[in-house]
Structure 1
């Protein structure tokens, strides 16, 4: 154990953990992804180090997903589908080695809907994945876009666990002032995508999907009331009324990133402690920093002991059937 690091209690289930298998790293680097989203480098990742980090931090189990930019750096739909298939197979192989410690969330080759529907079927029915991760947009096609309706329907039919992960917005060169996109733009793009999911009616049309929003809800906790005020003024004639605050209250939220001292209290003004789950963001958050942030959550008076137990473990066990009870029907 690293000096000064005390494992989380109760041991956590991590719903925001990433993996970068060799085939993915090789393809990303071959296609110029040496500084993705303006960050210094793609981090190294291997399975023994990931398990060691979990042991040191007090993470009982983790759901692995591919972070930004996913497979979108490839030009052709066929290449994206092939790489998505490869990383999903690699994730399933990792779970087979550590079935009590790991789950995997499939990568989908959007915006190609036919390839994505094929990958949903293969990932769930052949690989036995535990859910999927969706990025905020794919070549400018944002979550909530009508073009993604067949995908939403397929995921809803499976009552799928779906985690959302941000990517760089399409117009990032004009708005970042040379700064890395995860600093600010990731949070804004998450907010943009989730608001579009809600106001497009997708959250209401597909209530069986079990959504997890990253980074303590990004800017949603402080903007929800403002959007709720504006939305009816610009709704299409005859469109169903959407209560954004109520819709957001049905989602789950991970605590990856910097939830303290301000983001988590704001989130808890929007949702109850039954809607929050732990997230490390490893390896994009280094092991030492992930351990420090975890300890801050452990020691924060914002969460009493029942709330910590819910956030670290109990809520995730209801979402990840591999580690907990199946969802209620």
Structure 2
């Protein structure tokens, strides 16, 4: 097996578990809440030769409480839990802090607090109770994140509003998550997020969702809306410069399409544990390891080298501050 660094692994703090039970009857996004302790993460790591995991909360996002004070309390509790795991297993565990979006003042306060608690990075939902990334109301939060070199991992959320009478039988992670990631990143490009906040290194999940498929199509928007600038529709250039995790079923079709849009140095391994059960994590990981669609050099980069370099650069930048 290849050594690995995992950029898309989840944890469930006690407060987040209670949130899922209270608001979703333990079926957030239509998925049964998995059993979890930090041993779950460590077991997944041992079974798949993962040397370091960057843990974060999954969806549903805490914005579903629709209360700034309660969302802030949930963010604080979950981040403190993750910081404790990092302190206990510093060579194996890092964490991406959750923010109480869309509440600006509370989110800025949590950014500052999480940095003091040695957060490795931050995780942002594609939308927080219907407020999508790229919304100008979130600009102060982006500006705060941009104050220093920062890692930001995007995570899909259930679209808002949902359309109940179409594909209602399909759990949101199967299809709607891809749509929401695509929608959010396209909105970020339109609003200049990737260029205006260049100190942020973004990781786009699930091999870019549908973004590589629509990248050429986005430029056509200028024919229908001539007020759009070239930069606002230049999804191709954006995809060439961002990082992508490969969580989920990315072979045989999705990952090769993404590789046409970005080079192998921007690919990052991801288990999506524990929402992807341990046997499936093993199966998907082995599919990547054994695939003839990826060169040995690409596999080395995807599994370990890219992540090692990214984290090393971030740590060096922090040390200089």
Question: TM-score scaled to structure 1, two decimals?
Answer: 0.92
1:175 CA drift (Å): 3.5
User: In structure 1, what is the Cα distance between the partners aligned to 2:226 and 2:251?
Assistant: 35
Describe the SS at the equivalent of 1:320. Answer: helix
User: In structure 2, what is the Cα distance between the partners aligned to 1:83 and 1:237?
Assistant: 39
1:57 CA drift (Å): 1.1
1:20 aligns with one of 12, 21, 32: 12
Q: Indicate the RMSD between aligned Cα atoms, in angstroms.
A: 2.0
Moved over 4 A (4+): 237-242, 322-327
1:233 CA drift (Å): 4.0
Work out whether 1:149 is the aligned partner of 2:139.
yes
With over 3 angstroms needed to count, the CA separation of the structure-2 counterparts of 1:231 and 1:202, relative to structure 1, is: farther
Q: Within 5 A, what are the aligned runs for 1:9-88?
A: 9=2, 11-39=3-31, 41-88=32-79
2:101–2:128 contact (8 Å) kept in structure 1: yes
Q: Which residue of 1 aligns with 2:130?
A: 140
Moved more, 309-318 or 103-112: 309-318
2:63–2:102 contact (8 Å) kept in structure 1: no
Q: Within 5 A, what are the aligned runs for 1:115-264?
A: 115-125=106-116, 127-172=117-162, 173-231=164-222, 233-234=224-225, 236=227, 241-264=232-255
Describe the SS at the equivalent of 2:96. Answer: strand
1:70 CA drift (Å): 2.4
With over 3 angstroms needed to count, the CA separation of the structure-2 counterparts of 1:296 and 1:198, relative to structure 1, is: same
Describe the SS at the equivalent of 1:132. Answer: strand
2:218–2:234 contact (8 Å) kept in structure 1: no
1:117–1:151 contact (8 Å) kept in structure 2: yes
User: In structure 1, what is the Cα distance between the partners aligned to 2:232 and 2:313?
Assistant: 36
2:265–2:306 contact (8 Å) kept in structure 1: yes
With over 3 angstroms needed to count, the CA separation of the structure-2 counterparts of 1:231 and 1:61, relative to structure 1, is: farther
Moved more, 48-57 or 237-246: 237-246
With over 3 angstroms needed to count, the CA separation of the structure-2 counterparts of 1:319 and 1:190, relative to structure 1, is: same
Describe the SS at the equivalent of 2:124. Answer: strand
Describe the SS at the equivalent of 1:181. Answer: coil
With over 3 angstroms needed to count, the CA separation of the structure-2 counterparts of 1:145 and 1:50, relative to structure 1, is: same
User: In structure 2, what is the Cα distance between the partners aligned to 1:51 and 1:84?
Assistant: 23
Moved more, 277-286 or 230-239: 230-239
Describe the SS at the equivalent of 1:52. Answer: helix
1:200 CA drift (Å): 1.3
Describe the SS at the equivalent of 2:262. Answer: coil
Q: Which residue of 2 aligns with 1:92?
A: 83
Q: Which residue of 2 aligns with 1:3?
A: none
Question: TM-score scaled to structure 2, two decimals?
Answer: 0.94
The count of corresponding residues between Structure 1 and Structure 2 is 319
Q: Within 5 A, what are the aligned runs for 1:289-304?
A: 289-304=280-295
Gaps in structure 1 of 5+ consecutive residues: 1-7
Q: Which residue of 1 aligns with 2:262?
A: 271
